[in-house]
Amino acid sequence: MAYVVAVPEVLASAAADLEGIGRALRAVSAVTVASTTGLMPAAADEVSASIAALFGRFGQEYQSVNAQVAAFQARIVQTLTGNSQSYATAEATNASPLQGVTQEALSDTTTPTGGGSSAATSGVGTTGGSSGGGVTTSAAASGTATTSGGTTGGSTVTTSAVAGGATTGGATGIGVTYAVGSQWNSGFVASYTIKNSGTTPLTNWQLEFDLPANESITSLWSGQIAQSGTHYVVTPESWTRTIAPGGSVTVGFEASHTGAYSPPTNLVVNGEPVSGGGTSGGGTTGGGTTGGGTTGGGTTGGGTSGGGTSGGGTAGVASGEFSPYIDMTLWPPLNDANAANLANAGVDDATLAFIVSGAGNQPAWGGVYSLTDPIITSQIAALHGAGIDTTISFGGANGVDLAYSAPNATVLAEHYESVVNTFGIHKLDFDVEGGMQANIPVLTKQAQAIAMLQAEQAALGTPVEVSYTLPVLPTGLTNDGLGVLQIAKANGVNITRVNIMAMDYGEAFHGGGSPDMGDLAIMSAQSVHGQLMAMDPSLTSEQAWSMIGVTPMIGINDVMSEVFTVEDAHQLVAFADQHDIGELGMWSVARDTAGQLGVVGPNGSGVPQTPYEYSQAFAQFDGTSGDGGGTTGGGTTGGGTSGGDTGGGTTGGGTTGGDTGGGTTGGGTTGGGTTGGTTGVGATYAVGSQWDSGFVASYTITNSGTTPLTNWQLEFDLPANESITSLWSGQVAQSGTHYVVTPESWTQTIAPGGSVTVGFQASQTGAYSAPTNVVVNGQPVSGGTSGGGTTGGGTTGGGTTGGGTTGGGTTGGGTTGGGTTGGGTTGGGTSGGSTGGTTTGTWGAPEFSPYVDMTLWPQFDFAGAGGLGDVDHVVLGFITADSQGQAAWGGFDAYAVNGGSLLYQINDQITAMHNAGIDATISFGGAANQELALVTPDVNALVAKYQSVMDAYGFHKLDFDIEGAAQGDVASLTRRAQAITMLQTAGEANGTPVEVSFTLPVLPTGLTADGMRVVTNAIANGVDIAHVNIMAMDYFDPSLSYEGKMGDYAIQAATAVHDQLVPLYPTKTDAEIWAMIDVTPMIGVNDNPVEIFTLADAQKLTTFAEEKGLGGLHMWSINRDYSGPVGVLSNTSSGVSQSTFAYSQIFGEFDD
């Protein structure tokens, strides 16, 4: 057997040597550029002109060859550097395997590169002039100047250098830059940029500093934070753990303060005190670039820095584009006449959708048409012939993204390059939706590939503009959406646009009826503007607006109550012109005609309109800021300040471990903020968990009156030794030890009989004491201090303990006194019901229960499964929302549970299932469509929908498959959890207990942060979780070796989840924890075709499940438990050589 020994230092050294060669090449190029491209003017005769032309061609050829050599050299350097860090990361991971239990899986290269701040970060002087101010730089010097803070769009910057640190071998050096991005009366946004100026990778860095007692960090991004009094310790996220030589990482934070602002002090990096880095020292900067000054806010020379485009700014990108989407695979295809009509409507740019993975994992339009298929090329020729420029979009809602199928970033970059070279188009859009938004390894691979492409194309003089298209809510990008941008910036992507899909919000955000889609689009854009400002404090407001694109779905949306009218289009254009936003789009050109009124279709808007009327409206958008200014500092190489939640958001890692303590006390109060009718406000305080240096607690505010309670306000005092570090479901303002909490948009109104729970995490020194001086809506509340024990059915062991979520805690859920009845606490406490954290483990015996895809054709053979397959229980997937927001199989109106036209097809299958002696669990959610909680804003209405499904089929085992962006939608998580608790409470009272499982994506290292949020939110809201079912499939981690390992990874994932659940259920035995865990592999060929779960893997997992006493085994899906073409991914076969129901027979041993 051959072995390969990789020494990271050797690879890094080779990369450094090659980078030196690259610098020499660039220097020679710089010296010769004038003599090869700027010849003296020819004399006024034909001979001189010919000679000048000849030498001019020689010069151009030289420059072209030089650029290609530089690009080739840059690619080698980037690959070597990335591989050195991959091996270094592997060494670090293997050296401490226990650290991997709660961390995200690593990608093939985890190299945040490039400069994150607008100042130099090592003691080497300033790096070029930048618009907006100056930079103060020192080498381990004391920065004595202080400032009262910069204004929005500028940064107050101080730089220091510290020797030593975490690197070994080679020259070491760490530069630290502190910058204040913006300030206001009660707070500020600031950042620290840590730069590795050594020659070897810097891993597992640590930053420490003190803040004055009147300042407190409320949220932090691109790092994990721990607080002890006024002392803060920041450690990396998975994607910021390693800093390449010459690279940097920026950690941003938002802080509140009372009185005057003061900068941090006592700065320490990797155990070494740093002078001059803790105080801000004069001058503001508007986002300068490294490696050369900026001209007009853009990059100069097009050079590359650390694998990204220099400075990260976007040069000469004009605001005011209208670029509608064209579905390139739609029939009939666009022709010359269509293109001419589009041009006549005023369209001069279009976005071509979508390229995904096709045959042989090669780029293909819609996964079907090759790049050069005549159906595609004829459409592009028609557009170009009509004078319409084009952008190419990758991804979208359907198909397999190339970032999944490509084995590594280099291959993925080659795929992107093949598209650029095929069409000569250098504007690329990346539409990232669904589960991909939470897949850090895939996002990292994608970002690295994009950065490589941008670096290479910039060196060739053909820079690539990149936009990210992301789902949005009126409240802004979701946490997952922000994570996409964080990872992109951390890996060196130069982002020109953030294009938001202003569509399909769901009724949870507008309550149904006829929402004003123009208003919602504008709200969404305003929210994202604020998020971009917080992500990169060096941005001015104008620069942030110029980075934003808005794409509505014209006419009737998929959520049919949402109708974007022509009037909405004019409203959005006026707003876009007013703010000079970067771009408007629309989905899609083919829908820009009336079509069939009232119907959602690909070839019509469904509303009365003339052909191309939306295009004509949007084409009026021309912007006013196309002056070449672009965005300075807006797309900083390797990061800039990468975003996170702002404004009272969560701080660093969620809620962590420890013993449970405290309890709930009542303390109802009358009076308050409602007018008219009977009023009454109850406030319940609960401690969910405690540990030596902190605790998690919550206040539940209950409206016991008869009219809605709006704009409530909660006030309380904490002892001087306690400080809130994060708060969810509300906004917090602090003045010394006094805290004032006001609602988020989704918690603003409390219905009669309803409640809102605001949770928070706090640090403490010394002994714990409860809050005092509690006031709700101006009325003092007795009972603000906890008196021990629990009241109203509260529990210990619930709350949000252990394994908390990164950067978010369990947002939006908080603790509700250990379990809610009727959707919230009434009269100041909770009553009845089973409570989170205290399940008894008495649910049914372990069983094998494969998933059945109920909407798949041909229909499943239940009789065969019950006989040959030895199956006696299945999970039926999936119930989601139809166009009216009602329960339907697969989300199809025809399969609506309340009487769809084709529902008999489903019911016939269920009858066949019963005839075969098979019982069932019903699963809600899944990877496609919208789970009911996403479209049902009222908890009681949601309960009724779930109950209608149980009543229709008589099943009382419910599974909730929560994937993708739904895991980050805290409002829907809370609604769903409260509804489940109400169902369970009613079921207990009726003698029909409701058994609930949550099915969640997993990595070999365990549940992701988002997955943990689902679990902790459910516990906090009183759900009695019988099973946590993990989807041991589709890891898409190129750093893993999959052959023969899928069974091992499933076992590793189950073991990791066991360890994550232990602190959440401190009263459970080890056996009871194992009995809560179910495992669901995808049999045979997975969506990532290199992942193949074999029959041997099935046997290995079954043996493990029997040894540990797991709660259940499942598989996706029994529809696939057949032979078929080997190596082919299919819905009706496994892609491996097998006999019929071979997997079922193996897994069936588990419950025999």
Same domain, 886 and 767: no
Output the DSSP codes for 1108-1123.
Answer: HT-SEE--B-GGG-S-
- The rounded distance, in Å, linking the Cα atoms of 657 and 1062 is 9
Domain termination site, one of 560, 586, 619: 619
Active-site entry in 237, 254, 321, 433:
433
- Write down the H helix ranges in 703-780: none
Contact 489, 531 (CB under 8 A): no
Helices and strands: H and E segment counts in the chain: 22, 53
Output the DSSP codes for 310-344.
Answer: GGG-BTT--S-EE--EEETT-SSPP-HHHHHHHHH
Q: pLDDT band for position 238 (50/70/90)?
A: low
Q: What pLDDT sits at residue 47?
A: 45
Contact 390, 380 (CB under 8 A): yes
pLDDT at 174 over 80: yes
**End-to-end Cα spacing for the chain:** 41
Percent of the chain at pLDDT above 70?
A: 68
Q: What pLDDT sits at residue 648?
A: 31
Domain-embedded: residue 281: no
pLDDT at 1069 over 60: yes
Q: Which domain holds residue 503?
A: 324-619
What's the one-letter identity of residue 312?
G
Comparing CA positions, the residue from 1083, 969, 989, 987 lying closest to residue 1026 is 987
CATH number at residue 203: 2.60.40.290
Same domain, 355 and 267: no
pLDDT in tens, 85-133: 333 333 333 333 333 333 333 333 333 233 333 222 232 232 333 322 2
Domain-embedded: residue 796: no
- The rounded distance, in Å, linking the Cα atoms of 427 and 415 is 15
Same domain, 436 and 585: yes
- The rounded distance, in Å, linking the Cα atoms of 45 and 54 is 15
What's the one-letter identity of residue 1002?
V
pTM, to two decimals: 0.40
Which segment of 5-19, 403-417, 711-725, 995-1009 scores lowest on mean pLDDT? 5-19
Give the bridge partners for 495, in sequence order. Answer: 466
DSSP conformation class of 436: G
- Torsion sign across C-alpha atoms 596, 598, 603, 604: positive
Which segment of 13-17, 170-174, 310-314, 728-732 scores lowest on mean pLDDT? 310-314
Coil, helix or strand for 1017?
helix
pLDDT at 745 over 70: no
- Torsion sign across C-alpha atoms 1006, 1011, 1014, 1017: positive
Q: Which residue has the higher pLDDT, 400 or 624?
A: 400
- The rounded distance, in Å, linking the Cα atoms of 141 and 272 is 14
Domain-embedded: residue 180: yes
Contact 809, 725 (CB under 8 A): no
Coil, helix or strand for 1026?
strand
pLDDT at 622 over 80: no
Which segment of 303-317, 375-389, 543-557 scores lowest on mean pLDDT? 303-317
Comparing CA positions, the residue from 358, 417, 347 lying closest to residue 382 is 347
CA dihedral 587, 593, 596, 597 (to 10 degrees): 90
Same domain, 262 and 386: no
pLDDT at 750 over 90: no
- In terms of Cβ atoms closer than 10 Å to its own Cβ (0-12, 13-18, 19+), residue 359 is exposed
pLDDT in tens, 60-89: 444 444 444 444 444 444 444 444 433 333
Q: What pLDDT sits at residue 193?
A: 86
Same domain, 239 and 329: no
Q: Quote the tokens at residue 1126.
A: 């080997």
pLDDT at 269 over 80: yes
- The rounded distance, in Å, linking the Cα atoms of 252 and 277 is 15
Domain-embedded: residue 381: yes
Q: What pLDDT sits at residue 864?
A: 82
What is the pLDDT of the chain when averaged over all its residues?
74
Number of domains in the chain: 5
- The rounded distance, in Å, linking the Cα atoms of 876 and 141 is 66
Mean pLDDT of 328-337: 91
pLDDT at 567 over 60: yes
Q: Which residue has the higher pLDDT, 729 or 660?
A: 729
Domain termination site, one of 619, 652, 668: 619
Q: What pLDDT sits at residue 326?
A: 97
Q: pLDDT band for position 509 (50/70/90)?
A: low
Same domain, 358 and 504: yes
Domain-embedded: residue 822: no
pLDDT in tens, 1076-1130: 999 999 999 999 999 999 999 999 999 999 999 999 999 999 999 999 899 989 9
Distances (CA, A) of 669 to 682, 774, 778, 794, 1125: 5, 10, 11, 19, 68
DSSP conformation class of 859: P
Same domain, 340 and 266: no
- The rounded distance, in Å, linking the Cα atoms of 1021 and 73 is 56
Q: What pLDDT sits at residue 319?
A: 59
- The rounded distance, in Å, linking the Cα atoms of 194 and 174 is 7
Task: Reply yes or no on whether 433 is catalytic.
Answer: yes
pLDDT at 557 over 50: yes
Rounded to a whole number of angstroms, the CA Rg of the chain reads: 29
- The rounded distance, in Å, linking the Cα atoms of 151 and 129 is 19
Mean pLDDT of 740-754: 79
CA dihedral 491, 493, 497, 503 (to 10 degrees): -40
Q: ω before 588 within 30° of 0 (cis)? A: yes
Same domain, 261 and 334: no
Same domain, 1007 and 867: yes
Q: ω before 878 within 30° of 0 (cis)? A: yes
pLDDT at 442 over 60: yes
**Secondary element (H or E) of residue 1030:** strand 1025-1032
Exposure b/e, 656-682, CB count within 10 A at least 16 = b: bebebbbbbbbbbbeebbbeeeebbbb
Mean pLDDT of 493-519: 85
Same domain, 1012 and 907: yes
- The rounded distance, in Å, linking the Cα atoms of 797 and 794 is 10
DSSP conformation class of 397: S
Same domain, 12 and 72: yes
pLDDT in tens, 866-922: 877 679 999 999 999 999 999 999 999 999 999 999 999 999 999 999 999 999 999
Coil, helix or strand for 307?
coil
pLDDT in tens, 962-978: 998 899 888 899 999 99
Comparing CA positions, the residue from 181, 131, 179, 177 lying closest to residue 151 is 181
Q: What pLDDT sits at residue 754?
A: 78
Percent of the chain at pLDDT above 90?
A: 45
Contacts 24+ apart (CB under 8 A), 1087-1091: 1087/400, 1087/404, 1087/1033, 1087/1034, 1087/1129, 1088/404, 1088/405, 1088/1034, 1088/1035, 1088/1036, 1089/361, 1089/405, 1089/1127, 1089/1129, 1090/407, 1090/1042, 1091/1033, 1091/1034, 1091/1035, 1091/1042, 1091/1046
Q: Which residue has the higher pLDDT, 1008 or 280?
A: 1008
Q: pLDDT band for position 243 (50/70/90)?
A: confident
Q: ω before 363 within 30° of 0 (cis)? A: no
Contacts 24+ apart (CB under 8 A), 44-47: none
Q: What pLDDT sits at residue 874?
A: 96
Domain-embedded: residue 481: yes
- Write down the H helix ranges in 547-670: 566-579, 613-618
CATH number at residue 869: 3.20.20.80
Q: What pLDDT sits at residue 691?
A: 62
Same domain, 533 and 459: yes
pLDDT at 309 over 80: no
pLDDT at 330 over 70: yes
Domain termination site, one of 273, 293, 316: 273
pLDDT in tens, 249-265: 888 787 888 988 999 99
Give ∠ CA 165-166-169 in degrees, rounded to 5: 95
Output the DSSP codes for 2-58.
Answer: ------HHHHHHHHHHHHHHHHHHHHHHHHHHHHHH-PPPPPSSHHHHHHHHHHHHH
- The rounded distance, in Å, linking the Cα atoms of 1067 and 566 is 59
Domain-embedded: residue 358: yes
Domain-embedded: residue 640: no
Give the bridge partners for 155, in sequence order. Answer: 285
- The rounded distance, in Å, linking the Cα atoms of 801 and 815 is 10
